[in-house]
Structure 1
Amino acid sequence: MNDIIINRGRQKELDWAKAFSVLFMVCIHCYEEISNIDAEIAPTGIFRNLMEFLAGPLGAPMFMFCMGVGIMYSRNNTPADMTKRGLKLLGTGYLLSFVKGTVPTAIAIYLGYEVPWTLADSLFLVSILQFAGMAFFTIALMKKLRLPLPAMMAVSLVLSVLGGMLSKLDFTNSWTKYLFGLFFDTCDVTTFPMFRWLFYPVFGMIFAYYLQRTEDKTRFYRLICPVALVGTIAFTLIYTACGYDIRTMYMLAGRVFYHQSLLHHLFISMVILVAVSLCYFLSQVVKNIAVNGATAYLGKNVDVIYLVQWVIIIYAESFMNIFGGFRISAPYIIPAGILVLVSSIGLIELWRFVKGSFPVINRQRGNYVNV
């Protein structure tokens, strides 16, 4: 492999990967928030295990992996550019927490409902957007220090271990839990602490380095896919033989999925590589213009879809609570997820139409362009 960048621009397989992840993401949020399934109980049966697996390794880790790939492909990846992007993501994350968390919590408290968290908890939740902002800051700093990619990976692994050690500190009665929660687990509102999750965008950056320089993408993925598949199977067998419950690599119960460790990184990185490879082969087979246009659209609009779907789901849950705490059953989770996804896209396009700028399908090229 030479050191000349050959593959530039958008990589279709990453759009396919993000498209699937968007669908998994919306469905798992419906599963968690508006279904009658108790996600605090370890998953049993094919449906629950498949649902949590697809939305586990192929959810947040895949998004963060793709973010790392995007950093390498972006023209605006100087430390200053990345710092600005980090600030925007951090601000957007807290704005979303206010809209989907603080507002309905305040209304519920005012109406006399019992709420298991405080207004501060609802506002200072450390979710994936907050993590993304912190990741941009950290990677910008490492780029400023001119750290090579292997050194960045070493830093991410050290921070992962450090995050696990620091999570044992007690911040129960201190407001600093919201500040330090950006870095490591301090309380239940910390879901994506930077120390535990930095591995995935850095892993994506390393993957992108080689992808940019490969002369034969088909051969590249034909080499990666079987190796990653064997790795996934091998880690599954080894973990099981050592007494680890493989469900802890993806299950929501006990928050073990959010408490990422080196064991998670090894297993999930293999799953990601298998998935991206399969997305590449799928993107080469599917020639339908509408399908390719849809995947391109979802790939380009992951961030805004994430925002809108959360608002729809949380306010739907609030209304369901008001009207007797109704919940949907398992057969309706995926249809509900699709409905939420379509509704999110509809609201996004309505807003863009009102603003006078909305995407249309370029029938000649089969992708989305802004006009």
Structure 2
Amino acid sequence: MVLIKEISPSYGFIVGNVLGRPYAAPIFMFCMGVGIVYSRRSQWDIMVKRGITLFLLGILVNVFEFFLPYYVCGTLLGSWDIFPIAGGLLLFCVDILAFAGLSFILMGILKKFELSNKKLIVIALLMSIIGSLLRGTDLGIPVLNLIFGNFIGTAGGFTAFPLFNWFIFPIAGYI
């Protein structure tokens, strides 16, 4: 018989409320950068291919997370507004997997140029500043907002992790 011990309340709070909630995404991104350092397959071209695959998987996840429930609720229940997808725009929501894909692509490109750690930090800081200044920008055309939302987090609120704002974390882990 296996006995399962309960974890202490303080340990449970630290894991659940500190590491598991507000810091989960930055920790994941930091670990992604660390993982690149220790990967045997971290050549620039492999990283770009892996990034493209991750980005496409992010869109596929959105299909299963947003589009299919919307379609099922509309078809089976006859109510298309139970699970709204904002005119299909949520299908292109930038979540952590899409961010990871774009990060791998950018890390691969930067790796090809063999930039120093100081230059990587400067690039990441500049991207973060630009991303913060441009966050929520409305380009006036929904398709442009979807495309540039991947990078700066345009108007519409469909971008949780725009590349420019969050790229500093994988760089920190890489360095």
Give percent identity, aligned residues only: 34
Write the distance in 1 (CA, Å) between the matches of 2:160 and 2:17.
19
1:86–1:134 Cα contact (<8 Å) kept: yes
Equivalent residues of 1:102, 1:119 under 8 A apart: no
Between structure 1 and structure 2, the one with the greater Rg is: 1
Point out where structure 1 has 5 or more consecutive residues left out of the alignment: 1-23, 25-46, 207-371
Aligned counterparts, 1:24-173, within 5 A? 51=17, 54-57=20-23, 59-110=24-75, 111-114=78-81, 115-171=83-139, 173=141
Count of equivalent residues: 158
Q: CA deviation at 1:93?
A: 0.6
- Output one character per residue of 1:319-340: Cα deviation in whole Å (capped at 9) or x when no partner: xxxxxxxxxxxxxxxxxxxxxx
Deviation per CA, 1:240-279: give whole Å up to 9, x if none.
xxxxxxxxxxxxxxxxxxxxxxxxxxxxxxxxxxxxxxxx
Instruction: Specify the SS of the correspondent of 2:151.
Output: coil
Shift of 1:123: 1.1
TM-score (norm 1): 0.40
- Computed over aligned residues only, the root mean square deviation of the Cα atoms, in angstroms, reads 2.0
CA distance in 2 between counterparts of 1:51 and 1:74 reads 30
CA distance in 2, matches of 1:143, 1:53: 30
Q: Distance in 1 between matches of 2:86 and 2:141?
A: 13
* Structure 1 residue identity aligned to 2:41: N
**Are 1:189 and 2:158 counterparts?**
yes
Match of 1:205 in 2: 174
Gaps of 5+ in 2: 1-11
Letter of the 1:124 partner, please give it. Answer: F
Maintained 8 Å contact 2:70/2:84: no
Mapped partners of 1:165, 1:158: distance in 2: 11
Quote how far apart the aligned CAs of 1:150 are: 1.8
- CA contact 1:105–1:119 (8 Å) conserved in 2: no
Secondary structure class of the residue paired with 2:152: coil
1:53/1:152 Cα in 2 relative to 1: closer, same or farther (>3 Å)? Answer: same
**Which residue of 2 is the match for residue 331 of structure 1?**
none
Displacement of 1:173: 4.7
TM-aligned CA deviation for residue 107 of structure 1 = 2.1
Q: Which amino acid aligns with 1:189?
A: F
Q: Normalising by structure 2, what TM-score? A: 0.82
Separation of aligned partners in 1, 2:137 and 2:85: 21
The 1-side partners of 2:51 and 2:22 are apart by: 24
C-alpha displacement at 1:168, in angstroms? 4.2
User: What letter is aligned with 1:204?
Assistant: G
Change (3 A) 1:95 1:144: same
Residues 66 and 85 in structure 2, CA contact (< 8 A), matched pair in contact too: no
Residue identity in the other structure for 1:51: N
Instruction: Give the Cα–Cα distance (whole angstroms) in 2 for the partners of residues 100 and 89 of structure 1.
Output: 16
With 177-186 and 108-117 compared, the bigger mean Cα shift is at: 108-117
